[in-house]
Structure 1
Amino acid sequence: MYVKHYKLTGRPFQLTPDPRFYFESATHRKAMSYLGYGLAQGEGFIVITGDIGAGKTTLVAHLMATIDPKRLAAVKIAASEMDGDTALRLAAHAFGIETDGVDKAQVLSRLEAFMHQQARAGRRSLLIIDEAQTLGFDALEAMRMLSNFQLGGQSLVQIFLLGQPEFREAVAGSPELEQLRQRVIASHHLEPMLPHEVQPYVEHRLKLVGWTGNPRFDPDALERLADVSRGVPRVLNTLAQNAMQLAADQDKDAIDLAIVEAACEARETVLAASPPSAEAPAVKVSAEEHRQSIRAAVHSLRAAAGEARAAEMPSEDGDDRLAAIEARLARLEGRMDEHDEMLERILAKMIALVEDDEDGADIAPCAA
């Protein structure tokens, strides 16, 4: 595993959002300023949108880590397709309010009582809703009803809505959401990182796990990572993590362009394992098909690593060269066995990324 090989204290490019790894790119800095403005206002809705993998969840995790619990009772929920009653119950549950056996009106009453109690204790209530694009009109109307709660002319709750770009478009263009739209006090769309931000981003995450320069990322490798990922953090993390694994397998102290290209090709192998169908809805693959896709991608990674190493060999006679390549591949496969478990975890996450990509992520192909 590359973490052990490079003597790191953890995985710098894990896909699971972690506020420790928050990187303040220009667009994230602006988003945080809007969120801070919203908290200072103490009322209304703040809308933050971004494409899949843009860092919305990490942004929220960072915000949650900076909130003073003595001043704010803050909770976060992940939305899904649900009606207003379910949305209210989910919010109540997040605040620790029991809702079993009561109707919608009673749920609203309990939420209001809770928020009054928090206000008397000197705390405002903050509800953060992720994946807001999945909320229908009924659920959004229920959230608007929550925003009506007041005490002494002061709002009792603020609501931050985070979603994909289509949510912002829906709020802006739907006549049914006019009342909610009037209560949006700020909105921001998270853009991809700029090309010059990729190197600081990569080094920021590496330093948080004890990196001291080994392995180094060559300038052309970083440029290629920026180009292929288009500045989308999740895609960049996937490619950088796979590149580090390939470099560790080859015992290299530098990640060059060839390694990044191999990592890119391995990712496309996984993407190709589940091609979208234009004629039929996507269906859940069986466990055996899933395992076969992972095995195929593992073999691709092995082949890519072997080819990269073979490319460094001096020119030899055909038979000697073939024998040398086979010997190197045999040694490489022996070393790869101990990495299979880790690779399968990576690739399982990459397959989950495929599902996200099929939802509309616009990622550059590896081809030059």
Structure 2
Amino acid sequence: MDSEQFAKFFGLRERPFTLLPDPDFLLWTSAHRRAFSVLEYGLMTHAPITVITGEVGAGKTTLLQKLISTIDEGYVVGLISNAQGNRGELMQWVLSALDVPYDMNAPYVAKFQLLQQFVIDRYSEGSRVVLVIDEAQNLSAEGLEELRMLTNINANKDELIQLILVGQPELRDMITGPKMRQFAQRVTATYHIPAMDRETTGRYVWHRLQHAGGTGEEFTSEAIDVIFEKSAGVPRLVNKLCDFCMVYAYSNDERTISASVVEEVLADGIYLSALEFSDAAE
């Protein structure tokens, strides 16, 4: 199936429900606006650590991309995704994200000094360093503590390096634990993005369809009822199910996705939701 042919069948310019994060498709729900405001607040106030959490597919990475695209030239931004490893390995991720040359065999102290000098040099030039860590729930407690130590690089009252951590709810559980008290004290701003309710899910589907050149009416209200029930309002799961539904409608030569099309997708078992696995485990 050709993507262009598929989009043309529904009168669209492009496929509206891909799983790739795309800031252009972002629906600014009230929760996303609050999360973005918290990110902006963190930058504006030079917060040492800002934390945003949300379920898988809640739009966190898309928000990050939107933020990075709007940051002015006064900031040097380093982005780390899925960082893991022991003490010292995280420092290599940090240096690489900021394009700082380093010797992999150098001791940790030498790498830290490289980072410190880079941050101080940027500050002397009128810039601040922002380190963004996506999927931060993959970090260990030791890794989080290593990040906290980076915020000790400062000049008088100015924070020279700011951290933005984005991750799944487990990240929030980690930093609120008793062993992470020092880390939590450095967190100035935090926000958790909840799943969408039924009304917001409908607006989300409508928004993505219209942004792709559609009318927004390609899915019936009854179809969205079922999609919301099966996805629990998690954007990535909504995208996944909607995309399958459009493929089925295309193969049936139908330009409207009804509840029966959604039920057909579900009956065939090609849509697998992590929610179903978690329910089964309970």
- TM-score surpassing 0.5? yes
Does the C-alpha gap of structure 1 residues 122 and 264 become closer, same or farther in structure 2, counting only changes over 3 Å?
farther
Does the C-alpha gap of structure 1 residues 254 and 126 become closer, same or farther in structure 2, counting only changes over 3 Å?
same
- CA–CA distance in structure 2, aligned partners of residues 358 and 84 of structure 1: 34
Q: Which residue of 2 aligns with 1:223?
A: 225
Work out whether residues 43 and 157 of structure 1, in 8 Å CA contact, stay in contact via their aligned partners in 2: no
- CA–CA distance in structure 1, aligned partners of residues 189 and 138 of structure 2: 20
Q: Which amino acid aligns with 2:229?
A: D
Choose 1 or 2 for highest CA Rg: 1
Q: Which amino acid aligns with 1:149?
A: I
Say which of 239, 242, 248 aligns to 2:241.
Answer: 239
Say which of 187, 190, 204 aligns to 2:190.
Answer: 187
Say which of 247, 250, 273 aligns to 1:248.
Answer: 250
Can you list the C-alpha shifts for 1:298-326, whole angstroms capped at 9, x where unaligned? xxxxxxxxxxxxxxxxxxxxxxxxxxxxx
Work out whether residues 82 and 138 of structure 2, in 8 Å CA contact, stay in contact via their aligned partners in 1: yes
Q: Which residue of 2 aligns with 1:16?
A: 20
- The structural deviation recorded for 1:33 is 1.4
- The structural deviation recorded for 1:270 is 5.5
Q: TM-score, normalised by structure 2?
A: 0.90
Work out the percentage of aligned pairs sharing the same amino acid. 35
* Matching of residue 207 in structure 1 with residue 210 in structure 2: yes
- The structural deviation recorded for 1:108 is 1.0
Does the C-alpha gap of structure 1 residues 361 and 20 become closer, same or farther in structure 2, counting only changes over 3 Å?
farther
Taking the TM superposition and a 5 Å limit, the aligned residue runs for 1:103-252 are 103-175=107-179, 177-212=180-215, 216-252=218-254
Q: Which residue of 2 aligns with 1:51?
A: 55
Does the C-alpha gap of structure 1 residues 360 and 42 become closer, same or farther in structure 2, counting only changes over 3 Å?
farther
Larger RCO (alpha carbons 8 Å, 6+ apart): 2
Q: Which residue of 1 aligns with 2:259?
A: 257
Q: Which residue of 2 aligns with 1:75?
A: 78
- The structural deviation recorded for 1:120 is 2.0
Does the C-alpha gap of structure 1 residues 361 and 167 become closer, same or farther in structure 2, counting only changes over 3 Å?
farther
Structure 1: 5+ residue runs without aligned partners? 272-353, 364-368
Does the C-alpha gap of structure 1 residues 25 and 361 become closer, same or farther in structure 2, counting only changes over 3 Å?
farther
Can you list the C-alpha shifts for 1:98-147, whole angstroms capped at 9, x where unaligned? 12232211111111111112212222111111121221122112111111
- CA–CA distance in structure 2, aligned partners of residues 46 and 66 of structure 1: 17
- CA–CA distance in structure 1, aligned partners of residues 102 and 200 of structure 2: 46
- CA–CA distance in structure 2, aligned partners of residues 258 and 183 of structure 1: 51
Taking the TM superposition and a 5 Å limit, the aligned residue runs for 1:30-45 are 30-45=34-49
Can you list the C-alpha shifts for 1:277-297, whole angstroms capped at 9, x where unaligned? xxxxxxxxxxxxxxxxxxxxx
- CA–CA distance in structure 2, aligned partners of residues 202 and 359 of structure 1: 22
Does the C-alpha gap of structure 1 residues 84 and 362 become closer, same or farther in structure 2, counting only changes over 3 Å?
farther
Equivalenced residue count is: 275
Work out whether residues 245 and 261 of structure 2, in 8 Å CA contact, stay in contact via their aligned partners in 1: yes
- CA–CA distance in structure 1, aligned partners of residues 83 and 206 of structure 2: 35
Say which of 5, 29, 40 aligns to 2:33.
Answer: 29
Q: TM-score, normalised by structure 1?
A: 0.70
Can you list the C-alpha shifts for 1:150-170, whole angstroms capped at 9, x where unaligned? 124201011011122122112
Work out whether residues 141 and 174 of structure 2, in 8 Å CA contact, stay in contact via their aligned partners in 1: no
- CA–CA distance in structure 2, aligned partners of residues 360 and 154 of structure 1: 47
- CA–CA distance in structure 1, aligned partners of residues 136 and 98 of structure 2: 18
Q: Secondary structure of 1:162's partner?
A: strand
| Structure whose residues are more often helix by fraction | 1
